[in-house]
Amino acid sequence: MLALAGVAALFGYAVVQTYQPAGRYGRVYAAYAGVFLVGATLWGWFVDGKTPDRFDVVGAVIVLLGVVTIMWGRLIFA
């Protein structure tokens, strides 16, 4: 069941990517990568039982700040 959900999520992501304007593709891809990395950490915690240490948490926060900067930095800091 989880494999099917994973395949559906990847397929959905691929479909969403096809609708992105050419100039925004890199930003959307970067946001996806950031969410994927944080999701992998959460998966390890909740599914595999590997509690993240402080470096995992700090890294996840840095990744999410990077996503925010890439996606909306021009609006926030302009």
DSSP 7-51: HHHHHHHHHHHHTS-GGGHHHHHHHHHHHHHHHHHHHHHHTS---
Distance, CA of 33 to CA of 69 (rounded, Å)? 14
Domains of the chain by residue range: 22-77
Distance, CA of 74 to CA of 78 (rounded, Å)? 5
Which has more pLDDT, 3 or 58? Answer: 58
pLDDT in tens, 24-70: 777 777 788 888 899 889 989 999 999 999 999 999 999 999 988 88
